A and B are shown apart, each in its own frame.
Chain A
Amino acid sequence: METFLSSLAILSQWQVLVALLLGSIGGVIIGALPGVGAAVAIAILLPATFAFEPIVGLTLMLGVYGSSMYGGAIPAILINTPGTAVNALTTYDGYPMTKRGEGHRALSLAYSASFFGGIFSVVCLILLSPLLAMIAPHFGSREIFLAALLGIILVVLAHRGQVFAAGMLASFGIFLSTIGLEPVKYTKRFTFDMTWLTSGINLIVVVLGLFAISQALLLLVDKDHKPGKAHVDGNLFSGLSELLRFKRIASVSSSLGVLMGMIPGVGEFTAQFLSYTYAQKTSKKPDDFGNGSPEGLVASEAANNAVPGAAMIPLLALGIPGEALTAMMLSVFYVHNVIPGPQLFQGQLDFVIAIYIALILLNVIVLAFLLSSTNLLLKIIQIPTRFLGVMILTLSFVGVYSLRNSITDCAVASAFGIFGLILKRLNLPIVPIILGMVLGSIMEVKLRSAMARVKSPLDFVDRPIAAILFAVILLILILHVRTVIREHKSRREQETSKNSEASTQQG
């Protein structure tokens, strides 16, 4: 009880409440603007938050992170343009509903499902906390090394069809983390005798280049596009009661969102895919999916909104980010000397609980805002994409330059901006680079400290958690190889049957 009151005291500071309000509402607007997204906003805000108290900075970022997907559903449903990439699945059923004249119903259901998913994940986080607090101290250097390795492997394998590119970019991220003066032996690594490389490549400069500047360049160079006009009439509160009809799908989808959010490197897309497939397979009207099925809409929105809360689990408990946005948040922790991991649960439980309460509050604020301001948001998103590009590039300057007032940082960020633009145009993943950078440095430090106590290779996995993690890594690799072989066989069978059909027709 004392801890709970202490966490309420942390949250009751006016700065925290303002950050929560601005983050939540700002996140919805950012999410609703096609072409911006939470990653761009968080990258820009990141250096500005370094001046704040850790809880203020984190609340602001959590607000943006947790609410952007709510906002992204609006253009996805009404104008068939997802606000954020994770809302792409929402267009499948949301837009056909709008075309049938059920736009308000679709929006209302999407808000309700998102709210359910968001709250569900925070409740899971709270319920799992005692367990986390119990398990986290058993994570020593070798367990954290193996968990980080698992994260890298998962982020590579999660990019189906792009595994080689993801592996190459994750390795590039690990390489970037090694550049500069090595902290133990004080030797230079890949500095090419240039002083600006001695301090290494800053994670935030890379993040800003890859996410914000690349997006600005993409919008500025590409053809101008203005989202179509839309207006929504009707009662948006109706979805709250209608959601009760889909409680099974909402619960299963949220659970899948929590599960996928907890596993590093997996995230929203897999959660959505699994929950959508589940909803379709168990539905009485599976043919409606993709043609305006409310069940499909609920599955997609509940799953993606359950992820942000769950993604905080590996970050808080082990200090391991599951995806790019939590990797950015990790840097806020580090700047304020708050080290996430087992010791956070032991020493600063009130801080952790304050984050949980902030997550609940942000969902309530966002729902209240959306139910009253959807039409206002529809006017805001009418900004031409090239003007958005101007805005993002201007804001990117604050992010990069305010770090160290360095022109070199701006030049490096611009180079990563062009690199990010190329990756986006080629539809290659950016996230592996960021996770490679963060997890790479964790792996280097933890392997060094873990190996000091290891005499034979088997000693590395002689503790239960280390053994489980090692077994999971092996299992995932074996399953991946098996899937590739199966897919290859089925493709060959399909081609053989096609060829035989063709020869029969010719004959």
Chain B
Amino acid sequence: MAHIKTLQELFRRHRRPGDIVFALLFLAFSIFLLSQVYGETSWVKRTKWFAQPRFWPAVSLIFMTFFALLHFVGSLCSPRILGRWMEVVFWLRSLEFVLYFLLYVAIVPLLGYLPSTVLFTCFLTVRVGLATPRFLLASSVFAICVAVIFRAFLQVKIPAGQLYEAFPDPLKAFALTYL
């Protein structure tokens, strides 16, 4: 009994709500990856252990599982702060913005960088509750600045929008190169 108490004291740490959910999921993920080592890596004949393709993934996964287990035990031994599922809901709420981000990524090759960016920033500004003329103007100006700086000046590699093909010739060439 005394040994268990000592062990508990050694592992105790400050934990935030949701810590145990993350610790458990990460441990399960580590064990899953470790179980796949044989299938997902190969052992090459006439090659020493340090040069084996399996060596580093195996070492990293053994340590990952070992530390994940200790982290989980630490979470079990530490005093709980209420609000676990509220925290998980907070994590899941971020998925909504990830979805908007991926939609933005999908429409850039169609509408072009400048129009998509203006749409994206204005939409997000409204979505986060800042739908005032001042913030809508600020988000549009910001979007135009970003598109002009990165695509026109820095010549960052972003494809031109298919929509630009429908523009009249002089504007089309300009839009394809700079917007």
A interface residues with partner B (beta carbon < 8 Å)? 47-48, 51, 161-162, 164-165, 167-168, 171-172, 174-175, 177-178, 182, 184-185, 187-192, 213, 216-218, 220-221, 224, 384, 386-387, 389-391, 393-398, 401-402, 405, 407, 410-411, 414, 417-418, 421-422, 425-428, 436, 440, 443-444, 447-448, 451, 484, 488, 491-492
User: Is B71 in contact with A168, judged by CB distance below 8 angstroms?
Assistant: yes
Instruction: Determine the residue in chain A with the shortest Cβ distance to B40.
Output: A190
| Most central of A174, A396, A484 by chain B CB within 10 Å | A174
List chain B residues, Cβ under 8 A from A171: 60-61, 63-64, 67
Q: Give min CB distance, B98 to chain A, whole Å.
A: 5
The list of the 8 closest CB pairs from A to B, nearest first, reads: A168-B67, A171-B64, A167-B67, A174-B60, A175-B60, A171-B63, A386-B128, A164-B71
The SS class assigned to the A binding surface is helix
User: Is A224 in contact with B42, judged by CB distance below 8 angstroms?
Assistant: no
Q: Quick one: which of B1-52 are within 8 Å of A by CB?
A: 9-10, 13-16, 18-19, 22, 26, 30, 33, 36, 40-42, 44, 47-48, 50-51
Number of A-B contacts (CB under 8 A): 189
User: Is A402 in contact with B156, judged by CB distance below 8 angstroms?
Assistant: yes
Q: Give min CB distance, A311 to chain B, whole Å.
A: 25
List chain B residues, Cβ under 8 A from A189: 40-41, 53-54, 57
B interface residues with partner A (beta carbon < 8 Å)? 9-10, 13-16, 18-19, 22, 26, 30, 33, 36, 40-42, 44, 47-48, 50-51, 53-54, 56-57, 59-61, 63-64, 66-68, 70-71, 74, 87, 90-91, 93-95, 97-98, 101-102, 104-106, 108, 117, 120-121, 124-125, 128-130, 135, 138-139, 142-143, 146, 150, 154-159
**Given contacts A189-B53, A390-B139, A421-B94, A492 and B157 within 8 Å (CB-CB):** no
- Cα A425 to Cα B108 in complex, Å, equals 31
Q: Give min CB distance, A119 to chain B, whole Å.
A: 31
- Cα A505 to Cα B15 in complex, Å, equals 32
List chain A residues, Cβ under 8 A from B154: 48, 51
User: Is A393 in contact with B101, judged by CB distance below 8 angstroms?
Assistant: yes
**Given contacts A397-B104, A402-B150, A390 and B121 within 8 Å (CB-CB):** yes
Query: Would you list 14 pairs from A and B whose C-beta atoms are within 8 A, ordered by A residue?
Result: A168-B71, A188-B42, A189-B53, A390-B121, A397-B104, A397-B105, A402-B150, A414-B102, A418-B94, A418-B95, A440-B60, A448-B50, A448-B51, A451-B50
User: Is A426 in contact with B63, judged by CB distance below 8 angstroms?
Assistant: no
- Cα A69 to Cα B177 in complex, Å, equals 37
Instruction: Determine the residue in chain B with the shortest Cβ distance to A176.
Output: B60
User: Is B44 in contact with A395, judged by CB distance below 8 angstroms?
Assistant: no
Instruction: Determine the residue in chain A with the shortest Cβ distance to B72.
Output: A164
User: Is B158 in contact with A402, judged by CB distance below 8 angstroms?
Assistant: yes
**Given contacts A51-B156, A426-B19, A221 and B53 within 8 Å (CB-CB):** no
User: Is A221 in contact with B67, judged by CB distance below 8 angstroms?
Assistant: no
User: Is B98 in contact with A418, judged by CB distance below 8 angstroms?
Assistant: yes
List chain A residues, Cβ under 8 A from B48: 451
User: Is A168 in contact with B64, judged by CB distance below 8 angstroms?
Assistant: yes
User: Is A167 in contact with B101, judged by CB distance below 8 angstroms?
Assistant: no
List chain B residues, Cβ under 8 A from A175: 33, 57, 60-61, 64
User: Is B156 in contact with A398, judged by CB distance below 8 angstroms?
Assistant: yes
- Which of A161, A172, A187, A427 meets B16, CB within 8 Å? A427
- Which of A407, A425, A448 meets B105, CB within 8 Å? A407
Q: Give min CB distance, B67 to chain A, whole Å.
A: 4
| Most central of A168, A174, A440, A447 by chain B CB within 10 Å | A168
User: Is B156 in contact with A447, judged by CB distance below 8 angstroms?
Assistant: no
- Cα A395 to Cα B159 in complex, Å, equals 16
User: Is A390 in contact with B124, judged by CB distance below 8 angstroms?
Assistant: yes
User: Is B74 in contact with A164, judged by CB distance below 8 angstroms?
Assistant: yes
User: Is B98 in contact with A422, judged by CB distance below 8 angstroms?
Assistant: no
User: Is B14 in contact with A161, judged by CB distance below 8 angstroms?
Assistant: yes
List chain B residues, Cβ under 8 A from A428: 22
- Cα A172 to Cα B44 in complex, Å, equals 24
User: Is A488 in contact with B130, judged by CB distance below 8 angstroms?
Assistant: no
List chain B residues, Cβ under 8 A from A414: 98, 101-102
- Cα A436 to Cα B60 in complex, Å, equals 10
List chain A residues, Cβ under 8 A from B143: 394
User: Is A217 in contact with B64, judged by CB distance below 8 angstroms?
Assistant: no
Q: Give min CB distance, A87 to chain B, whole Å.
A: 22
List chain B residues, Cβ under 8 A from A188: 40, 42
List chain A residues, Cβ under 8 A from B129: 224, 386
User: Is A187 in contact with B87, judged by CB distance below 8 angstroms?
Assistant: no
User: Is B74 in contact with A387, judged by CB distance below 8 angstroms?
Assistant: no
User: Is A187 in contact with B33, judged by CB distance below 8 angstroms?
Assistant: no
List chain A residues, Cβ under 8 A from B74: 164
- Cα A494 to Cα B123 in complex, Å, equals 56
- Which of A172, A190, A224, A436 meets B41, CB within 8 Å? A190
User: Is B128 in contact with A421, judged by CB distance below 8 angstroms?
Assistant: no
- Cα A484 to Cα B53 in complex, Å, equals 36
User: Is A410 in contact with B156, judged by CB distance below 8 angstroms?
Assistant: no
User: Is A447 in contact with B50, judged by CB distance below 8 angstroms?
Assistant: yes
- Cα A47 to Cα B142 in complex, Å, equals 20
**Given contacts A161-B13, A401-B158, A224 and B60 within 8 Å (CB-CB):** no
List chain B residues, Cβ under 8 A from A391: 121, 142
- Which of B13, B42, B60 meets A162, CB within 8 Å? B13
List chain A residues, Cβ under 8 A from B59: 174
- Which of A162, A386, A410, A488 meets B10, CB within 8 Å? A488
Instruction: Determine the residue in chain A with the shortest Cβ distance to B48.
Output: A451
Q: Give min CB distance, B7 to chain A, whole Å.
A: 11
User: Is B67 in contact with A47, judged by CB distance below 8 angstroms?
Assistant: no
List chain A residues, Cβ under 8 A from B156: 47-48, 51, 398, 402
